[in-house]
Chain A
Amino acid sequence: MRLLACFASLAALGAAASAQADLHKLKASVVQVFTVSQREDYSRPWQRPRVSRSGGSAFYIGDRMLMTNAHVVSDSKNLKVRRADLADKFEARVLHVGHDCDLAVLTVDDPAFFEGMAPLAIGERSKLQSTVRTVGYPMGGTKLSITEGVVSRIELRTYVHSRADQHLAIQIDAAINPGNSGGPVMQGGRVAGVAFQSQFFSQNIGYMIPPSVIRHFLHDISDGAYDGYPELGLYWSNLENPTLRDYLGVPKGQTGVVVLKALPYASCVGHVRRNDVLHAIDGIPIENNGKIKVDNEFFALEFVVENKHVGDSVTLTLRRDGKVRDVDVPLKAWKVEMTRSWIYDRRPQYLVIGGYVFVPLTTNYLGWSRAGRGELSYYMQEFYRSIVEEGDVRRQIVILSRVLKHKSTLYRAYKNTVVEKVNGEVPRDFRHFVQLVEGGGDRVRIDFEGVNVAPLILDQQRLREVHEAILKRYGITRDRYVEEQPR
């Protein structure tokens, strides 16, 4: 008993000394980020948006690179960083950004900034109930703040920055406040995570991005470009039902899930098909509820992809027609123009023709226009489904977003209607739509989705006569912004 106590106090002494050294090091490694950004206005896409200021934290990872959150620097027009031990602010710029994993890497061109800075090493995933320290510049203060917390949960979670991606996240019981974002969460002198989001409805619950996601990002950008996570693109169903296992010919004692669909534009299509039974992924057995055991914890089987990159492959052990085989699936990123993710660092596309304003349907638009609650969000859901599940020829949906009032556009009742065809042809994306309209001859007929929506007949001659007047009336400096290349 005494021996134990002794040991404990020794450990405490050691901890205190290292904490002092740590603090010194942290002051020279954790910097404050000052962001000037313009959040694009999707309801008035021709307007340059208002400038807003925000802040965050970042930390030095070596090679003149600072790591922070994507959301700290997204839509930014000017970035400055300041060290805790230097008064001066330095101009910074973004090297790489991963909106899906909410991570970004910055650099400062002035070499003076990095003098005497010590890089923080990325550590290992924290254990449940272990203690961590959140380091950063919360709530606009200029002094470094350090708070202690305990790891309370490790799970796959939605990263709110993109609003759509799920990755591993670690929940800690220390509050993470605005300004903390992008700062390191330390454990044993190494980075155990990047503070990035909190829970809206509860205090003192914060989340950090774990080392696996950080390493994934750093590895991804090491070739000079960020590709993002590969996508399995599998719809599967559990095999908890004994009759279903029997029906699919799964021998007693074997577990797995049944494939419902392999999505086009993703990795598994062509390699697996409906009613294949997946027994294992990369050799890890899949339970009947679709979970796999990693480090003694259950995760959804998609977790395997968390540590994979585009171009890697994954091995699926599957049963088809009574035979079990291993299938190597090369992993692809999922490039679908229409996305449910929030879009950053891109200008909204639009076309004003006559008084009619056309835009591509995006999550941002739904959020801005308040149309998200109505029929349009239903269409968004439906088209997203038809694109990701069926491989619709359309990669993007175009809508008539509003009509600017002018004597040539009176009696135009609807707004937010979905374009179905231009002169009988289905536009594949916004660029294609613009091409179809511009090259459509003197009279362009635009048909809309919906049971009984009147078509729009654009008389190019008459439109040309009123076009400039309408733009002038509503202060629209340019009638369009159309991306050159689809992304």
Chain B
Amino acid sequence: MKRAAALCLLLAAPAAAQDLEPKLRGALVRLQATSQGYDAREPWKTSGISNRGGRGVVIAPGTVLTLAANVRDHRMITLSVANSSRQYEARLKHVDYRVGLAQVEILDEELKARMSPLEIGDPVRLDDEFDVYQLGQDNMVERSTARVVRADAGTSRLSLRLKTTLSDGGNGQVALRDGKIAGLISATNARRQEGTLLSVETIRRYLDDFADGKYDGLPGGGIWWQPLLRDDLRAFHGLGDDRHGIAVTRVVPGRTGDGVLRAGDVITEVDGYALDDEGKFTHETHGRLSAAYLFQGRRYAGGTIPVKVLRDGKELELEVTLKAWPRPEQRVPQKAVDRRPRFLVVGGLVILELDRSSASGVVLRRYRARSSWDPPGERRRIVFVDHVLDDPTNKGFESLNRALIETVNGRPINEIKDVAAALEQPQGRFHVLRFEGVNSDFVIEASKLAEIDRRVAKTYGVTLLRHLD
């Protein structure tokens, strides 16, 4: 009785909300992910264990849709549902960090049967108002309101900027319109009364990707272009006042556009949308958005889209194949998620592969800034000594840090596995590591390496001396 009164207060306003309530109770979910990552600089260690709360919504029998961030580095996921304090174990079904969405599977058969999925609704647009629901701390349904103030197309997802009454901690609250899902809240700022909504378009695109039984994912980039706003550049590219578009400056080999587009082309149309001189197109619902979204956020990897270009004064209609996001081939990849970073401890030297979070120091920064998007070629990864665990045998090298390894025993190092392989073949009595820039070679007696590694492991409690995948 008491509980009913409380709900009445919360959901007092629209009459329709009253009918919604049982439906919502069967669809809203609170997630708790117990997560644990790895120590980035000493990856034999794990980082602290933390509990991360998040929200989700049931979209199909036994399937919860939530934000990818909610399950990052998880070791275990539990669920709770409305008006109950029980926790249920759940399992990650699929996650795409670029899209920002994940699907979690309900394991408990009884709960699976009890929940009732919500449908995905129509896109919302500028000025639309709707309600946002979540399960509160006590697993009671809470309602807030929101209004769209602008569209915000990133490259890989379409989001909408909101004015909202939500409190801080946007983590998968469900936007609802006409009883259907209108998006998931991905961020909020209570002080400024702002929020970000992951759009229906992006959610649909993600879910539809599974329709043919295989997940293609988002296409990656690869086309570098520049706006053509300035008169000098427009004249240079031979554009009159009636022609608009952007200039291609570079096409990364092996990636989207390679072999079709060329530096110097002026792109005038992508996937049926005309581009302006700033590289924006006019979306039928959301107005001016960046062309990057057309290449990377709207279609599936492996598909093709039509692209119109001006080349040497002639208009050409081309077909561009959208290549997959090249994460595994990227030379300086994103920080490792859901897995232990690769590493090697040799003679007290802690050797890592460069990722986009750890790039500091001038040499490493050079690689991060200039070549993280380059085709990887021979050098698939940047391998470097992060720091030194002091041992009598590495005396004099205490201050070696962030030093990029060029060769080990004369063999070029293109990824961390190469270090391990090169250590099988010492140069005479020694292992010799050579670095880029001004560092002395590091040498260690080959016959004593195992003993040194054992000693370093014992002294510093290194439980794992290598992880190479």
Contact = CB atoms under 8 A, between A and B. Distances in A.
Contacts of A258: 440
Contact of A247 (B362, B393, B432): B432
Given A451-B370, A451-B373, A243 B226 contact: no
Nearest to A243: B443
Contacts of B236: 443, 445, 455, 457
A410 B277 CA distance: 14
A230 B233 CA distance: 48
B438 A244 contact: no
Most chain B beta-carbon contacts within 10 A, residue among A261, A288, A385: A385
Given A452-B224, A454-B230, A243 B440 contact: no
Interface string A408-423: 1011100000000000
A38 interface: no
A235 B439 CA distance: 9
A244 B396 contact: yes
A243 B232 contact: no
B226 A237 contact: no
A202 interface: no
Nearest to B396: A240
Nearest to A456: B232
B394 interface: yes
Interface residues on A, range: 35 or more
Nearest to A258: B440
Given A243-B444, A389-B438, A238 B232 contact: no
A381 B362 contact: yes
A413 to B, nearest CB: 9
Interface string B376-411: 000000000000000001111100000000000000
A243 B366 contact: no
A4 B215 CA distance: 97
Interface residues of B, number: 35
Nearest to B428: A247
A459 interface: yes
A243 B373 contact: no
Contacts, number: 80
A239 interface: yes
DSSP class of A's interface residues: helix, strand, loop or mixed? Answer: mixed
Interface in A232-266: 235, 237-244, 246-247, 258, 260-261
B250 interface: yes
B235 A457 contact: yes
A389 B370 CA distance: 20
Contacts of B370: 451
B232 A260 contact: no
A382 B366 CA distance: 9
Nearest to B440: A237
Contacts of B397: 241
Nearest to B448: A243
Given A381-B362, A382-B362, A454-B230, A243 B438 contact: no
A260 B400 CA distance: 14
Contact of B231 (A241, A408, A443): A408
Interface in A309-356: none
Interface in A350-386: 378, 381-382, 385
Contacts of B250: 452
Most chain A beta-carbon contacts within 10 A, residue among B229, B250, B441: B441
Nearest to B392: A242
The 10 closest A-B pairs by CB, nearest first: A240-B396, A237-B440, A241-B396, A411-B229, A457-B232, A247-B443, A454-B226, A235-B438, A457-B236, A411-B230
16 contacts: A238-B396, A238-B440, A241-B443, A242-B395, A243-B444, A244-B442, A247-B441, A288-B396, A378-B362, A382-B362, A452-B225, A454-B226, A457-B235, A458-B232, A459-B232, A459-B235
Given A258-B440, A260-B440, A410-B230, 17 more contacts: A237-B439, A238-B440, A241-B443, A243-B445, A246-B445, A247-B430, A411-B230, A445-B236, A451-B373, A452-B224, A452-B226, A452-B249, A454-B233, A454-B249, A457-B232, A457-B233, A459-B232
